[in-house]
Amino acid sequence: MNRILVAGAGPVGLTAALALARRGRRVTVLEAGDALAGQSRASTFHPPTLEMLDDLGVAGELHERGLVSPTFAYRDRRAGLVALLDLAVLAGDTRYPYRLQCEQSKLTPILLDHLLRHDGCEVHFGWPVAGIAQEPGRVTAIAADGRTLDGRWLIGADGAHSATRRALAVDFAGITYPERFLVASVHDELTGWLDGLAAVNYVYDPVEWCVLLRTPDRWRVLLPTPDGTPDSAELERLPARLLTIHDPGRPWRIAHAGMYRVHQRVAATFRAGRVLLAGDAAHVNNPLGGLGMNSGIHDAVAYAKALAGDDDAAVTAAAAERRRIALEYVQSVSHQNYERMRDADPAARAAHLETLRATAADPARARAALLKSSMIASLRPVAA
Ligand SMILES: O=C(O)CCc1cccc(O)c1
């Protein structure tokens, strides 16, 4: 009965489980799938996330699989490199003054391995949480086939389509962008194709904005697609669009391409009785800035701290604080990133690019900007 249940064995659910296990709690993770998800999705770890993973004893293994990226770049489609931001200016603020580029699918096996070293901790695959029942001091997870499991608390970290959130009838209000995002991974090595390419590059343009992002395995390209076009037509014209970024005299070698709808949504509450919502189950945002998985891991660590003490007021406060951060920081910064990259007003775009240039050239301004984009300022007060 003192067991804590976690729905979802993604990076958020497994981080919550490991953080609780390390605080001496028994945890059962219930995962709908038959195995850990293999898709690569998020791939940037920000400094405070690396600190948290270090506290959990897994940062070393993650670094063995990832790529340290001390800089990232803002570019303009026509003018090329505009500003290179160097996270080294955060050396006094974090023990990880860089981003680690690494697919989330490389973190989850590490978390699982560490979790299963703790007595009384277990993961049940093929266990989709479909319903929730609650009574004082107890929450029951109900599977689609009628199996049940009792716990003292449950963390719903079962993704954007969270069955936990639906079972609780918690509203998930927000917007869906008219554009879909097309993400292609390529076998090509982009370094050398464009001057001053960093591992993460935000390329501004009113129509053909894009992100060029390196993971340990491959380069990825994110492109917007217009509203209302068939997915098949967008995938068909992808090779021609890639040639407008750089033409190596042959087609780019596309490894994989997929399209998805982008939402900005936040759950009406992150706590309903003995259930907490975390990660994509609680909040979703566009991927620009790499805030989604990172903020989900921050939810997980904050909840584990509050739940380990079994203090009701601390649990309420953690859920409220994580919702405030989702609304005031993650939603707002990710949406601003989107609006700025595609700004159609030439004067506003030029002014913003000039601000980025000036920021990169001034260490104090760069530190202030990077404290925000690296998510440090969302978590703790920072000295000026
Ligand atoms: O801003 C970031 O760090 C990630 C942006 C991005 C780029 C390409 C694919 C993707 O899923 C996210």
Vertex 100, ends 98 and 104: CA angle to 5°?
150
CA distances from 238 to 155, 259, 325 (A): 40, 11, 36
How far CA 139 is from CA of 150, 156, 300, in Å, comes to 6, 12, 19
User: Would you say 4 and 20 are in contact if contact means Cβ atoms under 8 Å apart?
Assistant: yes
Cα angle value 186/8/258 (rounded, 5°): 25
Any idea which residue has 């979790």 for tokens?
Answer: 115
Arithmetic mean of pLDDT, 342-357 = 95
340 lines ligand 1 (CB under 6 A): no
- The Å distance, Cα 256 to ligand 1 centre, comes to 15
Q: Which residues pair with 135 in a beta bridge?
A: 138
> Which pLDDT does position 41 carry in this prediction?
82
CA–centroid distance, 184 to ligand 1, in Å, is 11
Q: Residues 257-264: what's their mean pLDDT?
A: 96
* pLDDT confidence of residue 1: 66
From 39, 197, 222, mutation site for ligand 1 pocket: most ligand atoms within 8 A of C-beta:
222
Check whether 89 has a pLDDT greater than 70: yes
Percent of the chain topping pLDDT 90:
98
Share the mean pLDDT of the chain: 97
Each residue's pLDDT tens digit, 30-42: 999 999 998 878 9
Q: Is 289 in the pocket of ligand 1 (CB under 6 A)?
A: yes
- Domains with residue ranges and CATH for the chain: 4-173+264-379 (3.50.50.60)
Q: Is the CB of 285 under 6 A from ligand 1?
A: no
What's the rounded Cα separation, in Å, for the pair 369 and 360?
Answer: 9
* pTM score over 0.90: yes
Q: What is the pLDDT of residues 170-212, one digit of tens each?
A: 999 999 999 999 999 999 999 999 999 999 999 999 999 999 9
Give me 270's structure tokens: 């992150």
User: Is the distance from CB of 84 to CB of 71 less than 8 angstroms?
Assistant: yes
pLDDT of residue 38: 86
* Rounded-to-integer distance, Cα 199 and Cα 189, Å: 11
Count Cβ atoms within 10 A of the Cβ of residue 65 and give its class: 0-12 exposed, 13-18 middle, 19 or more buried. Answer: middle
Helices 11-22 and 104-115 pack at an angle, to 10 degrees, of: 30
Looking at this protein, which amino acid is placed at residue 294? N
Atom of ligand 1 nearest to the CA of 72: 3
Note the pLDDT tens digit of each residue in 127-158: 999 999 999 999 999 999 999 999 999 999 99
> What pLDDT score was predicted for residue 367?
98
**Is 203 strand, coil or helix?**
strand
Distance 211 CA to ligand 1 centre (A): 7
